[in-house]
Structure 1
Amino acid sequence: MKLLALLTLTLTIATQTLHATEVKPNQVLRWFGQTPSSYVSETPYGNNIATGRFVRSGDANIYFEVYGEGSPVVLLHGGLVGSLAEMGQFADKLKNDHQVILVNTRGHGKSDIGSVAPDYAQKAKDLKAVLTELGVERVDVIGFSDGAYTGYQFAADYPDAVHKLVAIGAGEWKEGFVQGGRKDRSTPFQILVDIDPRYWAQQAQIRPEPAKTEQWFKQANKQYDRTTVEKPLFESIHAPVLVLAGENDMNAPLHTVLAAYKMLPDAQLAIIPNTPHPVFAVNFDAVWACIEPFLDQ
């Protein structure tokens, strides 16, 4: 109860601090961990009333945005602290020549939390619901972290729907694996709030159920404790996959990335030197130099 009270107080204080610049429709959103030198798009990804839409998938309304025309590319953000805004530089690069589809994972941004287990099979179903709504049959997918794992699952469950997959920061996931080098998933949600209170203050204003954010955080971590992504899944993916990661990624250590690459039937590998988990936020040019020719092949 004390933690919940502290979380509520912190979010209230952060929201009050942001009150003078309350989030409005079409306002550019902050992404988690954004710094003064970070790339920030002028497009309000995750908050664009002109292109934002919802589709019903099972027990949740899933939010997505669509930009541009051409061959479709889906962008899938990271988990827990992920948002459409973090994928902004990819969207800006792609939308002049492609139809770009950005999807908020359930519990993130404007998507509902829902009540079912947020496993990767469900997240793949949510993506399929978006594509069905749009009448899109086959896509390229670029996923980061949690989004990359969703991409793996989607490519396995809907093989005819995936042309190519770029999986950033996502390797083999054995039972009991905890990202970031931690021993367990006991980190309180408050820690994330303290890292970037401005981000969470904005999220509290756009999420459909902000009071349930801590509950959702616990639910997601409980699901991660039951998650494995191993040989049977990788071997069932026959679309070409670019497995990409930062050399110093603590969430997807190099040996897990190499293991995934070796188990995939049709894979290429790219490791960006001296970069962490959010590799594209640190060295986008190097990441894009790997992705662009892969998609164009």
Structure 2
Amino acid sequence: MKKNFVFPLLFWLLLGYGQERSIVSNWTAFTQALNIENKQNWNFRVTAKIRKDNKDSSSNCGLWCRIDNKDGSNGFFENQYYGIKVTNEWKTYEIKGIINPNAQTINIGAFAQDNGDFYFDDFKLEVNDAKSKKWIEIPLENSGFEKDIAASNAWFEGIHSQRITHVKHFTVGASDYKPFSGNKSLLIKGQGIIGSMPDGKFMEVNGIKLYYEIYGEGEPVLMLHGNGQSISAFMNQKDTFAKKYKVIIVDCRERGKSTYDKTKELTFDIQTEDLKQFLEKLNIKKTKILGWSDGGILALSMAMKYPHMVDKIACSGANIFPEGVKDDELKSMKEMLASFTKENKDHKNDIFIDLLNLDLKYPNWQYEDLKKIQCPSLIIAGDKDLIKTEHTVKIAESIPKGQLAIIPNASHYVPEEKPELFNELVIDFFENK
């Protein structure tokens, strides 16, 4: 998946999410925004006490912070989720940095992902003017959550001070269960989020273990997520498709709960072999495939290499060579790769580097190669997709039974942005004989 090459939430947190509405996601944030126009170039640090109650080690939580500039751009950004593993014991976590010269607002808050009970207490924001070693505390409203959260406008669910959203499958409120101090703490509770369900299973294939979940009955539909995603990418599709099909959603290697072999390069070829063996072990002779972004690339790859196993494919936001991605997105990916490589102490960024290299190096097909695909193929993209529109059109034209759908007023995130339209479009295609 392009641009959200690390995790889709990175993209959302950097840009802010579109409109004020309820959304479906595997993560949420609880945020307070403060004006810092008179603190430009100052040092800052944000701290909070955090713990979680959850048997699932793959879920996590943490602090996050983003600075919004006067010109509408984003400055400093850090989501601590990726660098820590919160336990069931209260600990202090910290983010620190320098306030941008053009800074206007600092957004700080709690972040939680997947199923579990996530607790936060005693948020604190401090600054100094770089000339003094003395830290000055900037008061936060209801920093210990002792007051009624609902009665205050200071904290809001979401990631942008002007666009408050509610995320389905999460509840946010105060809890009196074992607070760090005082009588209450903040509790963010995630429930019923796919990718972390108790009936999920693992299957050994191609030297690794793939995690998967199955829903519904009928003809099989294999759903394949993007580069930095996991099973939860299809939270907007699972229920609708499970009414008609046997929905099989899998974490690709190095993502979600699936494992990987560090000695082997992450490529689309090796992932295609993973999927072949996976379907064989499930005794699935033939399947429809719904792929999003890199998952769409894998759908194309399966249809080319193992046509006898593929009935139909629907691909959203796929490309067949790196240059099919818009130039500014490729540039951004290269810059992030350089940054992750430079800061790769103790191999902490190895997986992120693998994911970036996957999309910067592969696939390397030609349009002529797509003539091998003999199954009906629906090629989808948003009109504001990260994939060049002319590239998407050419892919559809190059497949003998290819069909094209460009979704208006949509980006690379069509399955999330317009789930009803997207689901209806794909199901109609799958059902059309």
Range class of TM-score, shorter chain: 0.7 to 0.9
**1:185 to 1:174, Cα distance in 2 relative to 1, 3 A:** closer
Look up the match of 1:10.
Answer: 80
Q: Which amino acid aligns with 1:122?
A: I
Q: 1:117 to 1:257 in 2, by over 3 A?
A: same
Structure 1 counterpart of 2:307, from 134, 159, 166: 159
Q: Equivalent pairs: percent with the same residue?
A: 24
| Structure 2 unmatched ranges of 5 or more | 1-77, 91-109, 118-158, 171-190, 341-345
Is the CA contact (8 Å cut-off) linking 2:240 and 2:423 kept in structure 1? no
Match of 1:36 among 165, 182, 185: 165
Deviation digits for residues 4-60 of structure 1, max 9, x if unmatched? xxxx993477644997899999659xxxx9x8356659643111121x111222221
- State how many pairs are aligned: 265
CA-atom RMSD, angstroms?
3.4
Query: Per-residue displacement from partner, 1:185-235 (whole Å, max 9, x unpaired)?
Result: 2315989xxxxxxxxxxxxxxxxxxx8662011123223332123224311
Q: Is the 8 A contact 2:324 2:388 kept in 1?
A: no
Give the direction of change, closer, same or farther, for the CA distance of 1:223–1:9 in structure 2 (3 Å limit).
closer
Q: 1:146-203 CA distances to partner (integer Å, 9 max, x unpaired)?
A: 1000110011111011100000011342569577633252315989xxxxxxxxxxxx
Aligned to 1:77: 225
Match of 1:122 among 267, 270, 273: 270
What is the CA–CA distance in structure 1 between the aligned matches of 2:355 and 2:270, rounded to whole Å? Answer: 12
Q: Does 2:330 align with 1:229?
A: no
Q: 8 Å contact 1:27–1:47 — kept in the other structure?
A: no
Contact 2:296 2:317 in 1 (8 A): yes
**Partner residue, 1:279:** 414
* The structure with more radius of gyration: 2
TM-score for both structures, normalised by structure 2: 0.55
1:36-115 equivalence runs, <5 A? 36-37=165-166, 43-50=192-199, 52-80=200-228, 82-115=229-262
Unaligned runs of 5+ in 1: 1-7, 192-210
Of 167-176 and 285-294, more deviation after overlay is shown by 167-176
CA distance in 1, matches of 2:324, 2:383: 22
Which of structures 1 and 2 has the larger relative contact order (alpha carbons within 8 angstroms, sep 6+)? 1
Q: TM-score, normalised by structure 1?
A: 0.78
Mapped partners of 1:112, 1:269: distance in 2: 35
Superposition map of 1:230-245 within 5 A: 230-245=366-381
Where 1:186 maps in the other structure, the secondary structure is: helix
Residue 113 of structure 1 and its aligned partner are, at CA, apart by 2.5
Partner of 2:319: 171
Amino acid at match of 2:252: T
Which structure shows the bigger proportion of residues in strand conformation?
A: 2
Tell me how far 1:289 sits from its aligned partner. 2.7
The 3 A distance-change label for structure 1 pair 229 and 19 is farther
Deviates more, 1:71-80 or 1:167-176: 167-176
Q: Deviation at 1:141?
A: 0.3
Greater share of residues in helix: 1
